[in-house]
Amino acid sequence: MKIFCHKCGKQTNHKVLAEKQNSSRDEEDMAWRETHYLAQCAGCDAITYAIETWSEYDWNPQSGEIETTWKTYPRGATERQPIDGELELPTKVRVIYKEVIGAMNAQLPVLSGVGLRALIESICRDQKIAGGNLEKLIDGLATSGVLSKVQADILHTHRFLGNVAAHEITSAQPRELVAALEIAENILRTIYVLPNLSKQVKTGRKP
């Protein structure tokens, strides 16, 4: 069968090593089926645990056919991965960043919001920005020249989102969290990844 391989990072052919199926009983109101697979990638030999599920309510309105849903472990096709150059991040910043990604992939919106706030605060602390609260820390990134004022203003959205998550225990919408994470990742690239890439460009530079 063809499923997502966490090592190849794409759909590949797999050999099924073990299979177990559960399904609805006759007395149940809704028909459903759940099939568990232990499979091995035919390309890289990685082992994947996959679950295929369907119910009579999961049908395509275009074709009328029942559609199946797949989940794969240890990583699914839709899971978010860290940015290229993550190893350039300071250890404390990288640890928080990866925990935010973990919370996002686990669909934990409150923890994701709190984590995004902590990530921005960790960046400010790493850059030795002084301030008694996150608002002043973010403004300090602009006044110190680490970020532009426009970037700092955008970053304040994390503060508002994180405040709601931390103090009101209210979760943001998934699209808001994705947008906030992408803003944070661009900040991480600007401060930590791009400066190291620029050092690799030597053509035309004066010795």
Query: Which residue among 52, 73, 94 closes a domain?
Result: 73
Rounded CA-CA distance 5/71 in Å is 11
> Which residue range forms the structural domain that includes residue 18?
2-73
Is the domain of 192 the same as that of 91? yes
> What six digits make up the tokens of 160?
């508002």
Is the pLDDT at 206 greater than 80, yes or no? Answer: no
* Residue 158: predicted pLDDT: 60
- List, for residues 117-176, the tens digit of each pLDDT value: 889 889 888 988 887 777 788 888 888 888 888 888 877 766 555 555 455 555 677 788
Tell whether 138 is covered by a domain. Answer: yes
Q: Would you state the pLDDT for residue 98?
A: 92
In a domain, 102, yes or no: yes
DSSP per residue, 149-194: HHHHHHHHHHHHHHHHHHHS--PPPHHHHHHHHHHHHHHHIIIIIH
Pick from 38, 73, 108: which residue ends a domain? 73
Any idea what the Cα angle at residue 171 is, between residues 167 and 172, rounded to 5°? 115
Checking if the pLDDT of 95 tops 80, the result is yes
User: What pTM did the predictor assign?
Assistant: 0.62
Cis link prior to 174 (omega < 30° from 0)?
no
In a domain, 80, yes or no: no
Residues 97 and 69 in one domain: no
The pLDDT assigned to 68 comes to 83
User: Per the domain annotation, does 96 fall within a domain?
Assistant: yes
Mean predicted confidence (pLDDT) in 104-122 = 86
Question: Do 9 and 40 fall into the same domain?
Answer: yes
Are 99 and 162 within one domain?
A: yes
Residue 205 domain flag: no
The whole-number pLDDT of residue 90 equals: 93
* Residue 180's CATH number: 1.20.120
Is residue 63 domain-shared with residue 92, that is, in the same domain?
no
79 assigned to some structural domain: no
Note whether 59 and 119 are same-domain residues.
Answer: no
The per-residue pLDDT for 75 is: 74
Per the structure block, which two tokens stand in for 129? 């920005």
User: Whose CA is closest to 123, among 112, 134, 114?
Assistant: 134
Same domain, 103 and 192: yes
- Quick: pLDDT tens for 16-41: 999 999 988 888 888 889 999 999 99
pLDDT band at 66, cuts 50/70/90? confident
What average pLDDT does this structure show over 169-194?
Answer: 82
| pLDDT greater than 60 at residue 191 | yes
Domain count, the chain: 2
Per the domain annotation, does 127 fall within a domain?
yes
- By C-alpha distance, which of 31, 24, 76 is closest to 50? 76
**What is the mean pLDDT of the segment spanning 63-80?**
78
Residues 100 and 190 occupy one common structural domain: yes
Would residue 155 count as lying in a domain? yes
Do both 99 and 171 map to the same domain? yes
Average pLDDT over all residues of the chain: 83
End-to-end CA distance of the chain: 57
Residue whose C-alpha is closest to residue 70's, from 43, 36, 41: 36
Residue 61: pLDDT over 70: no
Q: Are residues 109 and 165 in the same domain?
A: yes
Q: Rounded to an integer, what distance in angstroms lies between the CA atom of residue 7 and that of residue 46?
A: 7
